[in-house]
Structure 1
Amino acid sequence: MITNEHVEKFVEQARRYGKERWMLCSSGDLSWRIGNEMLVSGTGSWLRDLKKDKVAICRMMDRQCINGVKPSMEFDFHAGVYRNRQDVNVVLHFQSEFATAVACMKNKPTNFNVVAEIPCKLGRTIPILPSMRPGSSALAKAVVDAMVNHDAVLLASHGQVVCGRDFDDVFEKAAFFEFACRIIVLSGGNYDVLTEAEIDELEYYKFCRGGDM
């Protein structure tokens, strides 16, 4: 059962994300799975100064809100990710400056592995989804399907979604996603990416030798 302490922690973490300027005003949304229920930032709320009365508590089984707060319009893909990923407990949808600039490029990069942290933290590939109406069932389905096997997706002309096991995991993934996109934008497209052999070596170091990447 979700307690007042859970809500307070959720508010604290939402404000932590908001301070990073990863979303403007009411853009972006955050959710946290707790057992068979989930906390979701409410429609129109600003994560940087989220209040407890703007946090929706929803049941996972039937996706019904049980505290009278209307959840974010992107609630469906948050719930869908949790249904498919038992390893995921936090989902963040955001619009950070450089990653969103990449999302709006005509010629978007197909490889984001400019630094070792990307394949190590977010995976070797980051899917790019076509432009779809925010809050639509089509967008929700596309995000849910893409995140079955990925921890991050780029939404064309929209933003990004990352998921992870806890708040620190998601914070780290969002930070490195934005860092990689900053490199891509500031390089003017003139950048190198890690080779598959180099990524294989990183995987060996990380998983076989106990390295901390």
Structure 2
Amino acid sequence: MITEEHIQKFLEQAHRVGDAALTICSSGNLSWRIGDEALVSGTGSWVPSLQKEKVSQCLVATGEVLNGVKPSMESGFHLGVLRERPDCDVVLHFQSPFATAVACMQETPKDFNVTAEVPCHVGKEIPVIPYYRPGSPELAAAVIAALKDHNSALLLKHGQVVCGKNFDEVFERAMFFEMACRIIVQSGGKYTTLTPEEIDDLEVYVLGKKQ
């Protein structure tokens, strides 16, 4: 059951995303699974100043709207990711300055692992999704497929999507994604990345994935 406390927390987290300049005006959208339902920022809403009347309440399984508020045009991939990823309860689509600049480059970076935070939090492999019209079924399908086995994706000529188990994990993931892209842009393309051996070393001693 979604409560007033859930809605207020969702608004606070949306404003947090805006305060960090991950979205501006009507760019980007946010969703949060609560049981069998999800809160989704409404269509045309401004995430940085999201208001209660612009929050849509939907069934995750079907997308049925429960409170009469139309969800974001990107709700197709939000709900699709939540269905495919039972380990993730939050999805954020954002358009931060440097990551969006990278999404519009003629040559997209092949490797984003400029610092240890990227493989540790964003993902050592970041899928790059071709341009599809925002809100289209093709875009939704591509994002759902990309995030089935990854936590972050770059949408060419569009923006970024990250998913995670809670708001803090998603916020951290988005911020480090933006940090990596800022390094890539401000270096003028003259940057180095962690080697596979250095990433393996992180997995042993930082992430604890290996014995």
Structure 2 equivalent of residue 186 of structure 1 = 186
User: Could you tell me how far apart the structure 2 residues matched to 1:48 and 1:192 are?
Assistant: 34
User: Could you tell me how far apart the structure 2 residues matched to 1:186 and 1:35 are?
Assistant: 42
Q: What residue ranges of structure 1 are gaps of 5+ in the alignment? A: none
The Cα shift of 1:120 comes to 0.6
Structure 2 equivalent of residue 106 of structure 1 = 106
Q: TM-score, normalization: structure 2?
A: 0.98
User: Could you tell me how far apart the structure 2 residues matched to 1:48 and 1:139 are?
Assistant: 24
Structure 1 equivalent of residue 39 of structure 2 = 39
The answer on 1:26 being equivalent to 2:33 is: no
Counterpart code for 2:48: R
Structure 2 equivalent of residue 123 of structure 1 = 123
Q: Is the 8 A contact 2:203 2:209 kept in 1?
A: no
The Cα shift of 1:60 comes to 1.4
The 5 Å alignment of 1:36-185 reads 36-185=36-185
Aligned pair count? 210
Give SS of 1:78's match: helix
Counterpart code for 2:27: S
Q: Is the 8 A contact 2:37 2:59 kept in 1?
A: yes
Structure 1 equivalent of residue 206 of structure 2 = 206
Q: What residue ranges of structure 2 are gaps of 5+ in the alignment? A: none
1:81-106 residue CA offsets vs partner (Å, 9 max, x unmatched): 01111110000000000000000000
1:97-146 residue CA offsets vs partner (Å, 9 max, x unmatched): 00000000001101000000000112210010111100000000000000
The Cα shift of 1:22 comes to 1.2
User: Could you tell me how far apart the structure 2 residues matched to 1:48 and 1:76 are?
Assistant: 21
User: Could you tell me how far apart the structure 1 residues matched to 2:142 and 2:208 are?
Assistant: 34
Counterpart code for 2:35: G
User: Could you tell me how far apart the structure 2 residues matched to 1:190 and 1:153 are?
Assistant: 23
The Cα shift of 1:209 comes to 9.1
Q: TM-score, normalization: structure 1?
A: 0.97
User: Could you tell me how far apart the structure 1 residues matched to 2:162 and 2:76 are?
Assistant: 15
The answer to which of 156-165 and 61-70 deviates more is 61-70
Identity of aligned residues (%): 59
